[in-house]
Amino acid sequence: MKALLALEDGRTFPCRSFTGHGESFGEVVFNTSMTGYQEVLTDPSYRGQMVVMTYPLVGNYGVNPVDVESSRIHVSAFILREYQDFPCNFRATGSLGDYLLAQGILGVDCLDTRALTRHLRTAGAMRAMISTRDLDPASLTARVRQTPKMEGQDLASTVTTGQAYFWKNDQRTFVKPATPLNASVWPDHSGRPKVAAFDFGVKYNILRCLERAGCDVLVVPGATSAGQIRSLSPDGVFLSNGPGDPEPVSYAVDTIRELIGYKPIFGICLGIQLLGLALGGRTYKLKFGHHGANQPVQNLITRKVEVTSQNHGFAVDVNSLDPELVEVTHINLNDRTVEGFRHKKYPLFAVQYHPEAAPGPNDANYLFSQFVEQMKEYM
């Protein structure tokens, strides 16, 4: 079925829908991973974005109920060079096309993804729309320019949990609505560190890694107050990944600022940006973001280079951080952006990349152990 993708700068790309009639809009970004498309689709950090996969053949290993990072697909549309409708993998329980169709997500292929990616690298990530109904370039471009920009939107509030839950053995056990969030909700844990994890769009594998590191994990809504966290009396606080611009998530910044120095804090992705704002820093939007695997990051403490998986469109301005209080610990070797920092006085650290990435490199798994060690020092 014929379809058309139009960018806000007027560039258009003909394509084909393999999920039937539909329209979608969002910010279009590209992902350089060769595998892991189901993890990409279900990553809440992609909320409001249409994802272009640079690897040409997608769908060949199908989908399954295990390789998900949340309870649903979050991308606005999936843009491919060539879709494979006949998966061949012993773990597959269905096709990618049926998976997208079941959740009302538009999938297109037969699009020149190389040309689109090169254009985005030059012009930057931008708003776009795909339609099977409106195939007129001028009309579709005009409609794109009327859609809202991602900057200034609080997208984290659209993906956070509405109710606190415990994570254990890949299962969520929700705290009953009438139950007050205080120290009595924790199960007997025989000395296991208790982690209050803020959900700004948390990925399941982050929770798995925290549990695997020996933690009891209570996931709380992103708008949970500092007073509620103190009532829980956790051993540590985790700040999750999430979508979009960190500045509109001001309620979380205020809460984090109140919690600095209270307990050890560990942040990932959006978590580092919110932490940077809470420490008085600034954030800014990257030209086309970091989306994909094999991003080189240097650990400035060990001098080792870690191969990382990343998904973010904003970054912390290194010049806005107070060097008397904050030490930059990791930098991106491609563009020298901040990839990690720690506080010089309080047990607080964060990274911009994803140490839990699955599929992805395992070079940064040590960060979860580092968090546990800090918590045990303060227990």
Query: Which residue has tokens 């708003």?
Result: 127
Amino acid at 75: V
**Where does CATH 3.50.30.20 sit in the chain?**
2-144
For the question of residue 339 being annotated catalytic, the response is no
Identify the pLDDT of residue 177.
87
Are 274 and 254 in contact by the 8 Å Cβ rule? The answer is no
Are 283 and 273 in contact by the 8 Å Cβ rule? The answer is yes
Answer left, alpha or beta for residue 359, where phi above 0 means left and psi between -120 and 50 means alpha: beta
> Which of these, 358, 170, 189, 340, lies nearest to 266 by C-alpha position?
340
Are 134 and 143 in contact by the 8 Å Cβ rule? The answer is yes
**Where does CATH 3.40.50.880 sit in the chain?**
156-378
pLDDT in tens, 258-314: 999 999 999 999 999 999 999 999 999 999 999 999 899 999 999 999 999 999 999
pLDDT in tens, 215-237: 999 999 999 999 999 999 999 99
Per-residue pLDDT of the chain (379 residues; tens, 9 = 90+): 999 999 999 999 999 999 999 999 999 999 999 999 999 999 999 999 999 999 999 999 999 999 999 999 999 999 999 999 999 999 999 999 999 999 999 999 999 999 999 999 999 999 999 999 999 999 999 999 999 998 999 999 999 999 999 999 999 999 998 888 999 999 886 789 999 999 999 999 999 999 999 999 999 999 999 999 999 999 999 999 999 999 999 999 999 999 999 999 999 999 999 999 999 999 999 999 999 998 999 999 999 999 999 999 999 999 999 999 999 999 999 999 999 999 999 999 999 999 999 888 899 999 999 999 999 998 8
> Catalytic: which of 215, 269, 306, 312?
269
For the question of residue 269 being annotated catalytic, the response is yes
Domain 156-378 matching CATH 1.10.10.10: the answer reads no
Please name the residues in contact with 248: beta carbons below 8 A apart, sequence gap of 6 or more: 152, 153, 154
For the question of residue 356 being annotated catalytic, the response is yes
Helix and strand totals (H; E) in the chain: 9, 20
Identify the pLDDT of residue 214.
96
In the CATH hierarchy, which top-level class contains the domain 2-144?
A: alpha beta
> Catalytic: which of 211, 306, 339, 356?
356
> Catalytic: which of 74, 291, 330, 354?
354
Identify the pLDDT of residue 178.
83
Answer left, alpha or beta for residue 101, where phi above 0 means left and psi between -120 and 50 means alpha: alpha
Identify the pLDDT of residue 109.
98
